[in-house]
Amino acid sequence: MRKATLIVLGIVTLTFLASSYFYPQVPDQMVSHWGFRGEPDGYMSRGWGLFLIPGMLAFFALLFVKIPGIDPLRKNIEKFRPYYDNFIIILFLFMLAVQALMILWNIGVQISFALVLPPLMALMFYYVGVLCSHAEKNWFIGIRTPWTMSSETVWDKTNKLGGKLFKISAVIILFSMVLPDLMALFILVPVMFTGVYTVWYSYSEYQKEQKS
């Protein structure tokens, strides 16, 4: 079993154990969602609130472990497998942190999500950029459009550009710690721009390639 798989299984187990341990200590209706300014704006029963994330992580763990084996281009995934494994670990640690913050808030330790989440999200998006920069063509990981999947050159150009843009987005997200009232803009705008622009870029580069 791969080291990354063991770490992920450990994180999943930890989330279930923590949720079970704190189950008697949280209210029947617990805070489960916060707005961009860090104010509570959503509630769930404690069963759903405590075990939704662990359940999601269990599903994602199975999915992420299976992906490299079911992709028709699995040999390409093996070429950047360490980056893929590291991304999974970072994603699961991010979700573990969210679970911990939610539990702490509901037992009376109210740490501001508006201060803690931006650096965690910035780290995650930065590593998405690292992953994209090293991804070889496959059907599950990286920037996949009809045009990147049709051309190795377009794949390489688009994913390297996307990698840079995700890294820039990560830096922009950090500014939301200074201007929390604009947190939604600092998070959503760069990420949406990266998504839309890379799709257009892949189409444009493919058209250039076909004309040359």
What pTM does this model have? 0.91
Mean pLDDT of the chain: 93
The answer to whether residues 148 and 202 touch, using CB atoms and an 8 Å cutoff, is yes
pLDDT digits (tens, 9 = 90+) for 15-30: 999 999 999 999 999 9
The answer to whether residues 148 and 114 touch, using CB atoms and an 8 Å cutoff, is no
Distance CA 173, CA 36 (A): 12
Distance CA 174, CA 125 (A): 11
What pLDDT does 57 receive?
Answer: 96
What pLDDT does 147 receive?
Answer: 98
Q: What are phi and psi of 196, to 5 degrees?
A: -70, -45
What pLDDT does 119 receive?
Answer: 93
Matching residue, tokens 């999500």: 113
Per the structure block, which two tokens stand in for 21?
């341990």
Residue 162 vs residues 5, 41, 142, 188: alpha-carbon distances, Å: 27, 33, 9, 16
What pLDDT does 68 receive?
Answer: 92
**Domain residue spans of the chain:** 1-111, 112-212
Residue 41 — pLDDT band, cuts 50, 70, 90?
A: confident
Tell me the three-class secondary structure of the chain, residue by residue: CCHHHHHHHHHHHHHHHHHHHHHHHCCCEEEEEECCCCCEEEEEEHHHHHHHHHHHHHHHHHHHHHHHHHCCCHHHHHHCHHHHHHHHHHHHHHHHHHHHHHHHHHCCCCCCHHHHHHHHHHHHHHHHHHHHHHCCCCCCCCCCCCCCCCCHHHHHHHHHHHHHHHHHHHHHHHHHHCCHHHHHHHHHHHHHHHHHHHHHHHHHHHHHHHHC
Residue 40 — pLDDT band, cuts 50, 70, 90?
A: confident
Is pLDDT at 33 greater than 90 in this prediction?
A: no
Cα 64 to its chain centre, rounded Å, is 13
β-bridge partners, 45: 29
pLDDT digits (tens, 9 = 90+) for 148-176: 999 999 999 999 999 999 999 999 999 88
Is pLDDT at 1 greater than 80 in this prediction?
A: no
What pLDDT does 157 receive?
Answer: 98
